[in-house]
Chain A
Amino acid sequence: MKALFRTLGKLAPVVLLLLLGTAVTTRAQGAKLQLDQLDSLTNKASETMDVRIDERLMQTTAKFFSGKDPDDAQIREVLKGVKGIYVKSFTFEKEGEFTSAEVDSVMSQLRGANWSKILSVKSKKGGDNVEVYLNLAGDLINGLAVVSIDPKEFTVVNIVGPIDLEKLSKLEGQFGVPDLGIEKDKTKKKDQD
Chain B
Amino acid sequence: MKTKLTIAGLLIAIALGARLPSVFARGDGFNDAVKTIEKFYRVKHQNIPLLARAGMKAVRTAARIKGGTYKKLAEAGSVRVAFFEDQDFDSRGQIASFKGALNNTLIAEWSPLVQTLAPKSEEHTYIYLREAGSKFSLLVVTIERHEAVVVEATVTPEVLAELMKDPEGMGKAVTEDATIIDN
Instruction: Specify which chain A residues have a CB less than 8 angstroms from the CB of B7 in the assembled complex.
Output: 4, 7-8, 11
**Is the C-beta of B26 less than 8 angstroms from some C-beta in chain A?**
no
Question: B13 near A: Cβ within 8 Å?
Answer: no
Q: How many interface residues does chain B have, given as a range?
A: 20 to 34
Across-interface contacts of A11 in B (CB, < 8 A): 7-8, 11
Query: Does residue B48 face the partner (Cβ distance < 8 Å to A)?
Result: no
Given A46-B119, A54-B111, answer yes or no on A61-B164 (Cβ-Cβ < 8 Å).
Answer: yes
B118 in contact with A47 (CB, 8 Å) = yes
A61 with B157: CB separation less than 8 A: yes
Per DSSP, are chain A's interface residues mostly helix, strand or loop, or mixed?
Answer: mixed
Selected contact of B15 from candidates A18, A39, A54, CB within 8 Å: A18
Q: Which of A46-95 contact B (CB under 8 A)?
A: 46-54, 57, 60-65, 75, 93
Cβ B157 vs Cβ A52 within 8 A: no
A34 CB-CB contact with B under 8 Å: no
In the bound complex, residues from chain A placing their C-beta under 8 Å from that of B160 are 60-61, 64
- Is A42 within 8 A of B99, CB to CB? yes
Q: Decide if B113 touches A3 in the complex (CB within 8 Å).
A: no
Contact assessment for B166 and A51 in the assembled complex, using a CB-CB cutoff below 8 Å: no
Is A108 interfacial (CB-CB < 8 Å)?
no
Measured between beta carbons, the chain A residues less than 8 angstroms from B165 are 75, 174-175
Chain A, interface residues (CB within 8 Å), range: 20 to 34
Do A52 and B111 contact each other (CB < 8 Å), given the known contacts A42-B99, A64-B161?
yes
Could you tell me if B157 and A57 are in contact, using CB atoms closer than 8 angstroms?
Answer: no
Residues on the A chain within 8 Å of B111, using CB: 52, 54, 57
Cβ contacts under 8 Å, A47 to chain B: 116-118
B3 at the A/B interface (Cβ < 8 Å)?
Answer: yes
What distance in Å separates the Cβ of A93 from its nearest Cβ neighbour in chain B? 7
Asked if A176 CB lies within 8 Å of chain B CBs, one says yes
> A residues 1-31 with Cβ under 8 Å of B?
3-4, 6-8, 11, 14-15, 18
Do A7 and B157 touch (CB < 8 A)?
A: no
30 contacts between A and B (CB under 8 A): A3-B3, A3-B4, A7-B4, A7-B7, A7-B8, A11-B7, A39-B99, A42-B119, A43-B93, A43-B96, A45-B117, A46-B119, A47-B117, A47-B118, A48-B117, A49-B115, A50-B116, A51-B167, A51-B168, A52-B114, A53-B167, A61-B160, A61-B164, A62-B161, A63-B157, A64-B158, A64-B160, A64-B161, A175-B164, A176-B114
A-B pairs, top 10 by smallest CB distance, nearest first, are: A64-B161, A42-B96, A61-B161, A50-B115, A176-B167, A48-B117, A7-B4, A64-B158, A61-B164, A47-B118
